[in-house]
Each structure stands twice: as structure tokens, then as C-alpha cells.
Structure 1
């Protein structure tokens, strides 16, 4: 089995989402000792954001810049990662109600018509094989669940779920730590709750 582990937080060792994503991977390794891990740190080693140069190539133009060619290969590798993985773990903090630009950049590179989705008679269809499991390690400073007045501002988890469904990834589990900026006690309780959920994950 293969697991794809993606981190996108800019906080390094201070990141809650990175800590939780690492715990999820460790739990899956305990459940599946033969697991191979593909790791992508979208902050330390990010592909470029899409540009007019990318679009020119996508429309049939020549690749005249070696740097662009290398970047296009990196984007293709992101898609290969998804097809190779049986389990996908995404560390996804909330930044300004949405996902980090690094993670959005990855999404832009893997949502490619003809590769990960297509338009059929019934509309868009995801092309990734069924049966893949996705775990999202979500962290956010406020509270956006339940009857929170801020619930309508969640364009992080809702966006991720939608875009993953779009390319055929429908088995999604969210492990969430929220309220992290609402005092030390709230933060500690949220992290402890998330880690307890991770420890209880089944195969």
C-alpha cells in the first residue's frame, strides 16, 4: 500500500495541522506496516502557481524555458502521486477562511481535464479510481462547526471536500482541531480531542 502525505502549513514545527497529519500517517503505518510513504511539503518544495506560460503550453505551445519544463514535470508528478496512493493525508490549516495558497496551487495542478476529471453526458466525472481513502488534518483559529455564527465562513473544509469529490475522491475523513486562537485551554483540548480521534482510526 502507498500513502500520500501532503503538508501545506507555513508554520513548520509550530503547525498543528502538520502535527496531526504526521499522527495520521503514523497511525496508518501502525495499521499497515508495509506502507510506502510519498511526502510532499508544499511550502518547502512547491510547484509554481499557474501562469500564462503554463496555459500557453497547455494550449499546445512549446516549452522554451527549462525551469518551466521542470515545473510542468512536477505538476505531472502530483497527479501520479494521487493515482499511486491508496491513502491520502492532507494537512490543511485555515488561512483567512480558506486553504493556504500553497495547497490551492497543488489543487490547480491536479485538477486537470482528461487526467483527473472529464465532462460526460451527465456533467463532470472524477477519474481517480474508487476505493482511495482521504484524511484531512484540519486546523483553524476559530470555531466554524455546529451552530457557530462563523459557520458560513468555512471555505476551507467545504472547498476541499468539494474539489476532492470533483476528481473522484469521496471517502473523506476530517480530523479537526479548531478554536486554536481562543485561549490555551481551548487549544489544548482541541488538539487532545483530535489526537484521540486519530488514535481510534480503524484500518
Structure 2
């Protein structure tokens, strides 16, 4: 089994709960091939006209600029990492109601017709990654699971929608929330959430306790 962990927080685990979730998963998964795609460590120019210019120059054979070469290489690297995985773990925070921009760039790179999805003969969208499974690990300091706040949560919601769009099956989801809103309960909230992360990692380990 090949597990890809997409890490989307560059804050230290001592300060960021989703970073600690990443570390906890890595510490508890055993006996399988695990690789990390750290969106903050990768060279990932933002998705935009540079990429479309690069596509045109590939077709024409024209010389590409440095950023055009970089974005093509970065896009291919993200696609190759996703293609090689059987299970994809996304470890990320909610920042300002959504995902970090670097994680958005990862999704921008892999959202490609013929790779993650296609249009079938009836013109309907169909995911092309039905053989892959996804695990969602996310942290948010506020409480967004209430009916009133849920419409504002666009981090876990976006990631789940995106991977479902690709056809991937979401097999586990661990959300740690409320540790900033309820500081007197933060230690317990975080500990219980990390215990769930450890359980998920062990479930996907080839080495059983």
C-alpha cells in the first residue's frame, strides 16, 4: 500500500494542532510505504496565466520562462504523487474559513480533465480516481459543527467535495475543533482528537499491535 500524506501547515506542532495531527499519523503508521507532499516545502507557483502560457509554448515549441518551467514541473510532480497513491491523507487547518492557499494550489494542479475527472458520453462529470481512498485530518480553533456555523466552514468541506469529485472514497475523517473557543477544555479536546488520528494510522498499518 502506498500512502501519500499531503501536509498543509508549516507551523510547528507545538503551535498548530493540524501539524500535530500530521506528526501523530506519521508516528503511528507502520509497515506501508508512506510519503509526504509538504505544500509549504514544494516550489508551487500559483495557478494562473503562467500555466496557460506554458501549455501554449509546449504546443508551439517556444522557449518558456523560468516560472513557466517551474509551474509545469510542479503541476506534474503533484499529479505524479497523487497518481502513485492508494490512500491520500490530507492534514490541514482551517485558516480564515478556508484552506491554506498552498493547499488550494495543490488542488488546482491536479484538477485536470482526463486525470482526476472526465465528461462521460452524456456530458456528466465522472471521477477517475475511484480506486483511491482519502483520509481527512483537520483542525479548527472555533466550533463550526453547529447548524449555524457549518455554512461558513470551507476547509474540510472543500477538501471533501474535491476528493469526492475525483471519485475517491473518504474512509476516515478526524476533525479537532473548539480548542481556541474553549481554552479550559483545549487539552482534552486535542488529546481525544489525536487519539483518533493514531487509531486511523494503525488501521492502515500493515504491522498490527
Q: TM-score, normalised by structure 2?
A: 0.85
Residue 95 of structure 1 deviates from its aligned partner by: 0.9
Aligned residue for 1:126? 127
Conservation of the 8 A alpha-carbon contact between 1:17 and 1:91: yes
Where does the alignment leave 5 or more consecutive residues of structure 1 unmatched?
none
2:40 paired with 1:64: no
Conservation of the 8 A alpha-carbon contact between 2:6 and 2:38: yes
Residue 63 of structure 1 deviates from its aligned partner by: 4.9
2:157 paired with 1:152: no
**Alignment map for 1:154-173 (pairs within 5 Å):** 154-173=153-172
**Residue 194 and residue 138 in structure 1: after superposition, are their counterparts in 2 closer, same or farther (change >3 A)?**
same
2:48 paired with 1:47: no
Residue 172 of structure 1 deviates from its aligned partner by: 3.7
RMSD: 1.9
Distance 1:83 1:63 in 2: 28
Distance 1:63 1:85 in 2: 33
Aligned residue for 1:108? 108
Q: TM-score, normalised by structure 1?
A: 0.88
Aligned residue for 2:3? 3
How many residue pairs get matched? 197
Distance 1:70 1:104 in 2: 17
Where does the alignment leave 5 or more consecutive residues of structure 2 unmatched?
205-209
SS class of match (2:181): coil
Residue 129 of structure 1 deviates from its aligned partner by: 4.2
**Residue 19 and residue 63 in structure 1: after superposition, are their counterparts in 2 closer, same or farther (change >3 A)?**
farther
Distance 1:170 1:123 in 2: 19
